[in-house]
Amino acid sequence: MIEIETSYYKHEIEVRFAEGLLSSSNDWQWFIEYTEEAFEPFLNLESMSDYPACYSSVQSAYVHLARMVDQVGDVKPEFNTAWLKRVYECVLVRSGLMKPEDCIKGDGFFYILCIASFGTYLINCVSESGYLYNAQLLVYSNLHQLHDFEPLGDDRSRIVTLSKRIDVPGFSNVIDTSSANFDSALIPVDKTYVSNMLDEHFDADFLSFKNVKKRSFQTWQEALLCDALEVSFINGNIEPVVRYGNGVEVPDTTAWSEKMLSLAREVFSDARAVCVIEALEFGKHDIAPSEKSQEILVELSIEHAESCASVDKPVWSLSCTSFNILERLISEKKLDKDIKSRFNRRLSELLSGKSDYQEICYMRESILFCARRSNRKYSLLKQPALQRIP
Q: What is the DSSP string of 57-116?
A: HHHHHHHHHHHHHHHH-------SSHHHHHHHHHHHHHTTSS-HHHH--SSSHHHHHHHH
Burial per residue of 176-188, b for 16 or more beta-carbon CB atoms within 10 angstroms, e otherwise: bbbbbbbeeeebe
Say if residue 254 is in the same domain as residue 311: no
Give Cα separations from 33 to 78, 80, 141, 236, 310 (angstroms). 9, 8, 39, 45, 60
Q: Would you say residue 2 lies in a domain? A: no
Number of domains in the chain: 3
Task: Kindly indicate the confidence band of residue 223, based on its pLDDT and cuts at 50, 70 and 90.
Answer: very high
Which pLDDT does position 366 carry in this prediction?
A: 64
Which carries the bigger pLDDT value, residue 8 or residue 241? 241
Kindly tell me if the per-residue pLDDT of 159 is higher than 50: yes
Q: Is the pLDDT of residue 386 over 80?
A: no
User: Residue 364: how many CA atoms within 13 Å on its side-chain side?
Assistant: 15
Cβ atoms of 57 and 14 within 8 Å: the answer is no
Q: CA end-to-end span of the chain, whole Å?
A: 58
Domain C-terminal end among 287, 310, 333? 287
Q: What is the pLDDT of residue 378?
A: 41
> Tens digit of pLDDT for each residue in 317-334?
778 999 999 999 999 999
Distances (CA, A) of 206 to 1, 177, 272, 286: 27, 30, 10, 19
Check whether residue 16 and residue 153 sit in a common domain.
Answer: yes
Q: Are 65 and 36 in contact (CB under 8 A)?
A: no
325 and 259 part of one domain: no
What pLDDT score was predicted for residue 390? 38
Residues 246 and 355 occupy one common structural domain: no
* Secondary structure letter of residue 253 according to DSSP: G
How crowded is residue 68: how many other Cβ atoms within 10 Å of its Cβ? 22
The average pLDDT across 151-177 equals 95
Do 265 and 357 belong together in one domain? no
- What is the pLDDT confidence band of residue 357, given thresholds at 50, 70 and 90? low
Question: Average pLDDT in the 139-163 region?
Answer: 96
Give the β-pairing of 218-219 and 140-141.
parallel
**pLDDT at residue 5 is higher than 80:** no
Residue 31 sits in which domain range? Answer: 11-182
Last residue of a domain, one of 121, 147, 182: 182
Burial of 45 (0-12, 13-18, 19+ CB in 10 A): buried
Average pLDDT score over residue span 346-370: 64
Domain final residue, candidates 249, 270, 287: 287
Tell me the pTM: 0.86
**Do 40 and 122 have their domain in common?**
yes
272 in a domain, yes or no?
A: yes
What distance in Å separates the CA atoms of residue 62 and residue 84, rounded to the nearest whole number?
9
Same domain, 279 and 306: no
The 10s digit of each residue's pLDDT in 88-143 is 999 999 999 999 999 988 779 999 999 999 999 999 999 978 899 999 999 999 99
Q: Are residues 155 and 84 in the same domain?
A: yes
Residue 313 DSSP SS3? coil
Evaluate whether residue 1 is within a structural domain. Answer: no
What is the pLDDT confidence band of residue 374, given thresholds at 50, 70 and 90? Answer: very low
| 123 plus 18 within the same structural domain | yes
Average pLDDT, the chain: 89
Q: Is the pLDDT of residue 248 over 80?
A: no
